[in-house]
Amino acid sequence: MEYTNTPAASILSERLSQLDYLLQCVSVQPYSIPLRLKIAKVYQSLGYPDLAIGEAYLALVLLDEISDEGEYYEQATEAATADAAATDSLIDQPVGKEEPLIWAMKCWSNTAYTILVDCLINCACLRSAFDYNSRALKAFPESAVFKAYKETLSTILHAYCKTKNINFQDLDVQDYPDRGFVRRELYPWNKHEPDRYAPETLEFLNEEIAVIAPKLEVRVTELPILSPENASNEKTPSDQSPSFVKQLGVFAKEDLAPGEEILKEKSILTAVGRLHDSFCDACSASLPNSRDEGKESPIPCEECDEVFFCSPQCHELSSLYHPALCDVSFDLSGVPAKEAADSLYSLLLLRALAMAETQDMHPLDLKEVKFIWGDYHGLDLPKVWKTDSDGQLADPFGGVPQTLPFSFEANILRPLHMLEKMDINIFEQSPRYSFWVFNTLYSKFRGTASARQGLDGRPEVGAVHPLWCLANHSCDPNVRWEWQGSIRFWVREKLVEWEGRPETERPGLKEGEEVLSHYCDVRLPVRERREWAVGALGGNCMCRRCVWEEAKEKRKADTV
């Protein structure tokens, strides 16, 4: 990354170097509370309040380990005693006769709560902020800082009630909003992201795709940059020429006939949010009922007997993730319906962490994850990141847009809980299983995962098919797909009917033509299609059918 000579850019560069140094230190001193707090402060000063929350929370966990004599009592106490004796441990000198360790712990606890509450408010996690501020006020009843946060929270919550037209007194703490958006970013220190357009990347992806789709290849292509505003009534997209961005796409290597099956991909990066014995644990195919005659019976895991596989192949593939999860139950089936989709992303995260642990790899180096699209903001950080002349951030995110959904539960607590269930030491392994790694995985999954609903309309199964998801979208697709365990593409035998299509067009793909999938129900009218696909596309669809149909609607409206 190039750092221009603006004052903000050099401050950014300095803070990133500081972070780099502290991250190296924490890999050798994973139980150091002041070090966790220093990292939290640097994240905060860089405009990543979400990452600061994670480190401040770890500092609180370490403090609890000492006070409650928890599993890591010895390591945490040893580190804290050494830190309390050191001079640069973020604390004032002890007053009176208080023991240095007790005094230091009080100071660290105060700092941890301050960072946590401030950042939770900035990330719109108001219920969690309220909860931690109440605990802080119990520990430090006279603190002007926590009293001020109480006021701030009350003001924000009153304003929230006003917009929702509800009485503040009627709002239960459990119903306080607790979810916001944070920066969706290729973090400057992330060394795991490949150059997706480099010849060696394309060579690797084409070797992989040759196995499951011998007539297709991955190529670099150009796509219009989409934004949610570009179809608003004031600006007509067809009047503007969109800017383009380099991305990957899937192309035909030879002429493909209508009806031909051209891709069949099985993935183990799957998530099942319902009863485990109804779906193959590896590929998520529905399992045959025990009464289904002539069907092979599901194969159980011989160790835990809790998960089942649809075939010997899936049973074998489970050796790539299941050892880390064998006998571990992580049930999210009880989450409220409105959180069901988010919980599938968490289960995909769990699968990726289990794959990394079983294969002893960094999660971002897994081949199923490494090359997939993270839909990062793509802005030049040294140019967009903003501070004033004193180095104060323009806003808690440094002026950088926020599009990644974030909650304390999904991005901090749940991943740590998953690691603990897999018996992973959350302190010593924090360089590999870090909060920015969870965010990066969530960014990738949100850009590419498919979900299938159950009969009640609730998202039930999710999966990332790393090669299939390289295909781009059109509301006039040339393939159709089906997902039942494996995902399959067929060349369409019948093209979608819409008025603007040139009459000469026939189904089938010519050599070199792009495979165009669909991310929404293409039977719907343009407005509904765009609403459906906006999340997956990052903006309103600008395919030729959408542009044509929107123009027609506009002409119709103008004549009325």
Ligand X SMILES: C[S@@+](CC[C@H](N)C(=O)[O-])C[C@H]1O[C@@H](n2cnc3c(N)ncnc32)[C@H](O)[C@@H]1O
Residues interacting with ligand X, by CB under 6 A? 223-224, 226, 247-249, 373, 375, 447-448, 469-470, 472-474, 537-538, 543
| Smallest distance from ligand X to CB 469, Å | 4
The candidate with the shortest Cα–Cα distance to 252, out of 73, 512, 68, is 512
Give the separation between CA 525 and CA 358, rounded to whole angstroms. Answer: 46
Closer to ligand X by CB, 16 or 231: give it.
Answer: 231
Closer to ligand X by CB, 13 or 201: give it.
Answer: 201
Closer to ligand X by CB, 266 or 377: give it.
Answer: 377
Closer to ligand X by CB, 61 or 537: give it.
Answer: 537
| Smallest distance from ligand X to CB 375, Å | 5
Instruction: Read off the amino acid at residue 202.
Output: L
| Smallest distance from ligand X to CB 478, Å | 13
Angle ∠(119,122,125) on CA atoms, nearest 5: 85
| Smallest distance from ligand X to CB 311, Å | 27
Closer to ligand X by CB, 34 or 538: give it.
Answer: 538
Closer to ligand X by CB, 166 or 220: give it.
Answer: 220
| Smallest distance from ligand X to CB 473, Å | 4
DSSP states of 222-281: EEEPP-GGGGSSSS-GGGSPPPEEEEEEEEESS-B-TT-EEEEE--S-EEE-S-GGGB-T
| Smallest distance from ligand X to CB 222, Å | 9
CB 207, CB 467: distance < 8 Å: no
SS (H, E, C) 481-525: EEEECEEEEEECCCCCCCCCCCCCCCCCECCCCECEECCCCCCCC
Give the separation between CA 363 and CA 373, rounded to whole angstroms. Answer: 15
Bridge partners, 487 (sequence order):
265, 483
| Smallest distance from ligand X to CB 189, Å | 23
The candidate with the shortest Cα–Cα distance to 214, out of 265, 173, 179, 175, is 265
Closer to ligand X by CB, 398 or 538: give it.
Answer: 538
Give the separation between CA 350 and CA 140, rounded to whole angstroms. Answer: 37
| Smallest distance from ligand X to CB 36, Å | 34
CB 213, CB 264: distance < 8 Å: yes
Closer to ligand X by CB, 381 or 471: give it.
Answer: 471
For 324, the enclosing helix (H) or strand (E) is: helix 322-325
* Other CB atoms within 10 Å distance of the CB of residue 260: 15
